[in-house]
């Protein structure tokens, strides 16, 4: 399968990305206006943690599906109460096929919750969709009410047109991706009879990258993601008066331990996705970095290549596990020796590496005087194989909106609901149907936005992909 995938990638890379297309379309088709209405309604819900509006979002969407002809028995609002008592929900909708393909369903993922936004901090009301200067502004316009809108609107469009897939297509919208991902976990455990699938497509990962002048550079297909794990490193001792210093000062000991962590590099690792990523990216990346990508893809032990990419923040996380100190606390009074000092260390662990292995490495680095504790219950997630059928469907979708754009597999250094679905045994591929400039990336931040063209292009991308994979 890998050789065929490389052939597809080579063809796409050799065709060259075209210049931006004319953006003067007025987007007045009924399916486009319906999608915009859904987008506007979804942005209006403050579906962030503690506001308990996720169940309302799920009910709103369920009503839209039922009104469009989806049977009650195929529309499921699944409530869930978190350990701290907050009401969440997920939504599962099945689009029935005729079974002619003889294959299991495909699961389609997005999440209804958002990171909160304070209206007083924004230039516009974050919970009112605003179109201005060629952009849609609002919390969730990108992450991930964009994905929810794309999949919902595409299901309704296909249903209206009478499309009958050869297998079932299943929407699964989760309710706490930004916090605990409990709803995603529940979908593949408590509700597996509703969500079991051959593979999943995640509308909250991957996607297209534009240059600052609007040219398409690449489209990334996320096939795996690193395990998110946080540790605390703590040093304690009796302390005392600051006028009588001790040689075993907790802050100094912790600082020494952190310097050991700073100088350590986890070994370079490679899987199919990262090798294909570096092979493909090297062809469109100039200079030393491009050469390092090419050489590392050919030999994961190439020390020169590893050194070059170590100094590239956007690339180093794709090469290995990384752990970095993110917070510090220590001492209790300015005139007292510290009785304790603690550092928070966040790790992004390469697929296939166990959390316990990283914990043991940290303990070895900092020594027995430093207590190492893992916070929470981090879940490792396996890498999904690079599939030719998925890559081909994505290529069709991208060709529809940004012809000639290279399609490149990606192991993401961030986390999504996809890790829970992969952990549940369903291979998952992130293909957010959007092209965006780096300078327009405001997910989780102020004035989140998506270009008007990207929104309507996303509809054509998903319309094409779902017909391809549904055959």
**Residue whose C-alpha is closest to residue 421's, from 98, 167, 92:** 92
Report pLDDT for 377: 87
- 364 and 447 in a single domain? The answer is no
Residues 31 and 138 placed together within one structural domain of the fold? yes
Instruction: Check residue 215 and give its pLDDT.
Output: 95
Q: 268 near 306, Cβ under 8 Å?
A: yes
Q: Is the pTM of this model over 0.95?
A: no
108 lies in the same domain as 182: yes
Identify whether residues 44 and 186 lie together within a single domain. yes
Q: Which residues pair with residue 218 across a beta bridge?
A: 209
One DSSP character per residue, 424-445 reads: TT--EEE----EEEGGG--TTS
What is the count of structural domains for the chain?
Answer: 2
CB burial string 18-41: b at 16+ within 10 A, e below = eeeeeeeeeeeeebbebbbebbbb
Q: Are 204 and 416 in contact (CB under 8 A)?
A: yes
390 shares its domain with 418 = yes
Length of the chain: 471
340 and 410 both lie in a single domain: no
The CA distances from residue 171 to 75, 156, 178, 446, in Å, are: 10, 12, 19, 29
Q: Are residue 422 and residue 371 in the same domain, yes or no?
A: no
**Residue 276: both structure tokens together:** 């294909």
- State residue 20's pLDDT score: 42
- Give the per-residue pLDDT at 415: 84
How far apart CA 166 and CA 103 sit, in angstroms, is 8
* Domain's final residue, options 375, 405, 434: 375
Q: Cα angle vertex 433, ends 432, 439, to 5°?
A: 80
- Secondary structure (3-state) at 70: coil
Question: From first to last of its 471 residues, what are the pLDDT tens digits of the chain?
Answer: 344 444 445 444 444 443 344 445 689 999 999 999 999 999 999 999 999 999 999 999 999 999 999 999 999 999 999 999 999 999 999 999 999 999 999 999 999 999 999 999 999 999 999 999 999 999 999 999 999 999 999 999 999 999 999 999 999 999 999 998 999 999 999 999 999 999 999 999 999 999 999 999 999 999 999 998 999 999 999 999 999 998 999 999 999 999 999 999 999 999 988 999 999 999 989 999 999 999 999 999 999 999 999 999 989 999 999 999 999 999 999 999 999 999 999 999 999 899 999 999 999 999 999 999 999 988 888 899 999 999 999 999 999 999 999 999 999 888 899 999 999 999 999 999 999 999 998 888 999 999 999 999 999 999 999 999 998
Structure token pair of residue 153 = 């609107």
> Which run of H or E residues covers position 4?
helix 2-15
What CATH number is attached to the domain comprising 429? 3.40.630.10
State how far the Cα of 52 lies from the Cα of 75, in Å rounded to an integer. 21
Cα–Cα distances in Å, from 17 out to 11, 211, 456? 12, 11, 20
What does the DSSP assignment read for 202-257?
ETTS-EEEE-TTS-EEEEEEEEEEPEEEEEEEEEE---EETTS--TT-HHHHHHHH
Task: Answer yes or no: are the C-beta atoms of 378 and 355 closer than 8 Å.
Answer: yes
pLDDT score at 147: 98
Q: In terms of domains, do 141 and 115 share one?
A: yes
Distances, alpha carbon 181 to alpha carbons 144, 314, 409, 410, in Å: 14, 25, 24, 22
Q: Whole domain around residue 345: which residue ranges?
A: 228-375
Q: Same structural domain for residues 156 and 262? A: no
Q: What pairs with residue 91 in β-bridges?
A: 77, 173
Helix, strand, coil percentages (3-state) for the chain, rounded to 5, are: 40, 25, 40
What is the model's pLDDT at position 391?
A: 96
Rounded to whole angstroms, how far apart are CA atoms 170 and 107?
A: 5
- Which one of 321, 348, 375 terminates a domain? 375
Read out DSSP for 315-384? Answer: HHHHHB-EEEEEEEEE-S-TTEE-SEEEEEEEEEEPTT--HHHHHHHHHHHH-TTSEEEEES-----PPP
Which position has the token pair 């930004």? Answer: 178
Is the same domain home to 175 and 219? yes
Q: Are residues 220 and 243 in the same domain?
A: no
pLDDT at 178: 95
Examine the fold and report which residue of 332, 360, 375 is the final residue of a domain before the chain moves on. 375
Q: Are 340 and 236 in contact (CB under 8 A)?
A: yes
Say how far apart CA 42 and CA 23 lie, in whole Å: 25
Residues 126, 254, single domain; the answer is no
Which CATH number covers residue 357? 3.30.70.360
Contact 65, 93 (CB under 8 A): yes
Answer whether 136's CB lies under 8 Å from 449's CB.
yes
């Amino acid at each position: 399968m890998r050789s065929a995938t490389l052939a597809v990638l080579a063809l796409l890379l050799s065709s060259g990305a075209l210049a931006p297309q004319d953006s003067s379309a007025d987007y007045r088709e009924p399916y486009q206006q319906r999608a915009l209405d859904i987008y506007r309604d979804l942005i209006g819900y403050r579906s962030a943690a503690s506001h308990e509006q996720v169940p309302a979002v799920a009910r709103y969407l369920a009503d839209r599906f039922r009104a469009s002809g989806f049977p009650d028995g195929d529309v499921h609002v699944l409530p869930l109460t978190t350990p701290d008592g907050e009401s969440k929900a997920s939504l599962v909708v099945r689009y029935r096929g005729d079974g002619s393909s003889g294959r299991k369903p495909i699961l389609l993922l997005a999440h209804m919750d958002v990171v909160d936004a304070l209206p007083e901090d924004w230039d516009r009301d974050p919970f009112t969709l605003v179109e201005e200067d060629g952009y849609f502004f609002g919390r969730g316009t990108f992450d991930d009410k964009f994905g929810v809108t794309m999949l919902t609107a595409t299901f309704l469009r296909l249903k209206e047109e009478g499309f009958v897939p050869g297998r079932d297509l299943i929407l699964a919208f989760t309710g706490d991706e930004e916090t605990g991902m409990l709803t995603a976990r529940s979908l593949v455990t408590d509700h597996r009879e509703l969500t079991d699938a051959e593979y999943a497509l995640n509308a909250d990962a991957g996607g297209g990258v534009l240059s600052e002048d609007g040219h398409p550079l690449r489209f990334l297909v996320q096939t795996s993601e690193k395990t998110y794990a946080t540790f605390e490193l703590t040093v304690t001792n009796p302390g005392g008066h600051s006028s009588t210093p001790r040689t075993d000062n907790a802050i100094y000991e912790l600082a020494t331990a952190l310097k050991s962590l700073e100088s350590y590099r986890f070994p370079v690792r490679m899987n199919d996705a990262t090798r294909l990523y570096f092979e493909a990216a090297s062809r469109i990346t100039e200079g030393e970095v491009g050469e390092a990508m090419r050489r590392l893809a050919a030999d994961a032990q190439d020390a020169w290549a590893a050194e070059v990419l170590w100094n590239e923040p956007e690339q180093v996380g794709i090469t290995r596990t990384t752990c970095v100190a993110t917070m510090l606390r220590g001492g209790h009074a300015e005139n007292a020796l510290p009785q304790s000092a603690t550092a928070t260390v966040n790790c992004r662990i390469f697929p296939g590496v166990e959390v316990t292995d990283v914990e043991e490495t940290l303990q070895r680095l900092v020594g027995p005087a430093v207590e190492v504790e893992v916070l929470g219950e981090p879940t490792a997630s396996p890498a999904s194989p690079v599939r030719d059928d998925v890559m081909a469907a994505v290529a069709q979708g991208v060709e529809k909106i940004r012809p000639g754009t290279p399609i490149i597999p990606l192991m993401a250094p961030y986390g999504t609901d996809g890790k829970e679905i992969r952990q549940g045994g369903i291979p998952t591929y992130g293909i957010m149907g959007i092209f965006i400039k780096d300078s327009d990336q405001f997910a989780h931040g102020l004035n989140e936005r998506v270009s008007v063209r990207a929104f309507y292009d996303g509809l054509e991308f998903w319309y094409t992909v779902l017909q391809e994979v549904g055959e």
